[in-house]
């Protein structure tokens, strides 16, 4: 009996229906279709959030930053009569228009006030030109200034309204996700109850074979609805219920990723933060594949911040993030990872075969782009004046980037804590150089010591 019974239990639901359980099979099929339909709805809503709402909020925030920066550069150019500040004003203007173009590429662009934003910004730039020209009469310049400030307030208000509408849309869609999950839970729970009754009427063995997995799927739905994505029950089944369990787990992984991205992202660069970095590193170590962990830090960034202020310091951080993104885009692969620990510390997770190209591109582009953030006199001098914590006045060289690389090419890495300690040690070594550089830990055994590798 064990042999034939085992074969029957291993059949899919459709075959079991043909053997006599048409009613139970129809019920289970309806449950599966409903669950898959709910999953499809969840995926559609999540896709809308990640592809429209979040990019829309990020882009409008960057447009606000550009407009405020333009106001700063406009004031400086008028006070200092500086063509560099005026050039920065127009550069920010080009960035604003580029971001406006990005809004047009988002899904449902007709719901975004693109035409109104473009018209307001054109009027803003026209008023700026008028206010910058020699006044026709003593009161005209002041009038243009008032109109310019009023137009800027209109643009900021429209951008904030657009961002707020996107945020409200995201909240609404999140509520829809919750409603879909609750409805799926209620329906599946009801179907499970009916299935158990039918199973008991048919046979105890069949009830254990089908009702058990259904109960576990019900618990999975409840666990997911409570926000617990890592403790889903395992459904040991060879039929459609097993496939549904895998679909639930895939959904839980995706929901967890979306939650971590939303909660952990760095507010300035929008890159994954410390928790996401730690999770990525743990996953790579657990998989046991080739790993290269690159920790990047800016040397003399504090002196730059003290000299020029936090606003320009934030611009350097954003520029550094763009440099790292571009390096990964040009030299990396899709599975490579970029994170922002905070401040001027960034992380790249790649493989030993690619880190040299990636780090080389980062160093080259950093040394080419970052000096442009210094004033011309400081840039020509190659240093800025500052004070140490002891109050001593010294010259701080221009910023450089130091990258510490830890790989598992020559030794086995035990855990993420060990990787972090080695990276911190290598970073201190890298910062002992006066130029942008990446250094690689090539020691084969932590107990025997060894030397790091310096790279130009």
pLDDT score at 17: 54
- In eight-state DSSP terms, residue 51 is I
Distance CA 82, CA 73 (A): 9
Do 294 and 170 share a structural domain? no
Instruction: pLDDT band for 330, please (50, 70, 90 cuts).
Output: very high
With 0-12 CB in 10 A as exposed, 13-18 as middle and 19+ as buried, what is 295?
buried
Query: What's the pLDDT tens digit per position in 76-100?
Result: 877 877 788 888 888 988 998 888 8
Region 253-257 average pLDDT: 72
- Of residues 328, 384, 390, the one with CA closest to residue 355: 328
How many domains does the structure of the chain reveal? Answer: 2
- pLDDT the model gives residue 448: 44
Number of other residues whose CB lies within 10 A of the CB of residue 106? 17
Give the model's confidence band at 418: pLDDT under 50 very low, under 70 low, under 90 confident, else very high: very high
157 burial class (0-12, 13-18, 19+ CB within 10 angstroms)?
exposed
**Domain shared by 249 and 357, yes or no:** no
Same domain flag for 286 and 378: yes
Q: Of the spans 180-189, 351-360, 381-390, which averages the highest pLDDT?
A: 351-360
The mean pLDDT value of the chain amounts to: 82
Q: How many CB atoms lie within 10 A of CB 420?
A: 17
Residue 159 shares a structural domain with residue 99 = yes
What pLDDT, in 10s, does the model give residues 287-324? Answer: 989 999 999 999 999 999 999 999 999 999 999 999 99
pTM over 0.75: no
Shared domain for 238 and 382, answered yes or no, is no
- Average pLDDT of 88-114? 86
| Top-confidence residue, 233 or 93 | 93
Judgement on whether residues 24 and 83 belong to the same structural domain of the protein: yes
Domain end among 248, 264, 280: 264
Co-location of 303 and 245 in the same domain: no
Give the model confidence (pLDDT) of 347-378 as tens digits. Answer: 999 999 999 999 999 999 999 999 999 999 99
**166 and 27 together in one domain:** yes
Same domain, 240 and 275: no
Question: What pLDDT does residue 356 have?
Answer: 95
**Domain boundaries, position 443:** 268-455
Using a pLDDT cut of 70, give the percent of the chain over it: 80
How do residues 267-290 score in pLDDT, each as one tens digit?
899 898 888 899 899 999 999 899
Q: Do both 312 and 197 map to the same domain?
A: no
CB 339 within 8 A of CB 347: yes
């Amino acid at each position: 009996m064990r042999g034939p019974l085992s074969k029957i239990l291993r059949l899919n639901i459709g075959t079991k229906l043909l053997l006599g359980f048409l009613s139970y099979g129809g019920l289970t099929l309806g449950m599966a279709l409903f669950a898959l339909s709910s999953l499809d709805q969840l995926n559609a809503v999540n896709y809308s959030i990640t592809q429209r709402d979040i990019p829309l909020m990020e882009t409008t925030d960057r447009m606000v930053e550009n407009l405020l920066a333009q106001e700063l550069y406009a004031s400086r150019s008028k006070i200092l009569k500086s063509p560099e500040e005026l050039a920065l004003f127009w550069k920010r203007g080009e960035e604003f228009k580029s971001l406006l173009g990005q809004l047009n590429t988002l899904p449902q662009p007709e719901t975004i006030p693109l035409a109104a934003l473009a018209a307001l910004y054109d009027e803003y730039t026209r008023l700026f030109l008028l206010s910058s020209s020699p006044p026709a009469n003593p009161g005209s310049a002041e009038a243009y200034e008032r109109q310019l400030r009023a137009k800027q307030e209109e643009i900021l208000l429209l951008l904030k309204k657009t961002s707020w509408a996107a945020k409200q849309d995201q909240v609404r869609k999140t509520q829809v996700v919750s409603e879909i999950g609750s409805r799926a839970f209620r329906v599946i729970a009801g179907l499970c109850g009916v299935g158990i009754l039918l199973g008991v009427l048919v046979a105890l063995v069949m009830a254990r074979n089908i009702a058990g997995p259904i109960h576990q799927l019900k618990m999975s739905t409840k666990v997911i609805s409570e926000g617990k994505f890592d403790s889903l029950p395992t459904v040991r089944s060879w039929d459609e219920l097993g496939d549904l369990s895998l679909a639930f787990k895939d959904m839980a992984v995706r929901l967890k990723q979306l939650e971590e991205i939303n909660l952990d992202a760095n507010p300035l660069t929008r890159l994954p933060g410390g928790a996401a970095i730690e999770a990525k590193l743990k996953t790579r170590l657990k998989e046991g594949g080739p790993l290269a962990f690159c920790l990047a830090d800016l040397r003399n960034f504090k002196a730059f911040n003290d000299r020029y202020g936090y606003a320009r310091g934030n611009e350097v951080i954003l520029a550094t993030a763009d440099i790292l993104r571009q390096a990964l885009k040009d030299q990396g692969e899709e599975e490579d990872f970029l994170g922002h620990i905070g401040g001027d510390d960034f992380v790249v997770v790649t493989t030993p075969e690619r880190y040299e190209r990636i780090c080389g591109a980062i160093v080259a582009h950093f040394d080419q782009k970052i000096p442009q953030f210094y004033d011309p006199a400081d840039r020509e001098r190659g240093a800025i004046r500052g004070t140490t914590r002891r109050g001593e006045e010294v010259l701080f060289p221009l910023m450089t980037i130091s990258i510490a690389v830890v790989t598992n090419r020559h030794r086995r890495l035990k855990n993420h804590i060990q990787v972090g300690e080695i990276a911190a040690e290598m970073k201190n070594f890298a910062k002992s150089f006066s130029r942008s550089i990446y250094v690689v830990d090539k020691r084969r055994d932590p107990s025997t010591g060894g030397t790091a590798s310096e790279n130009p």
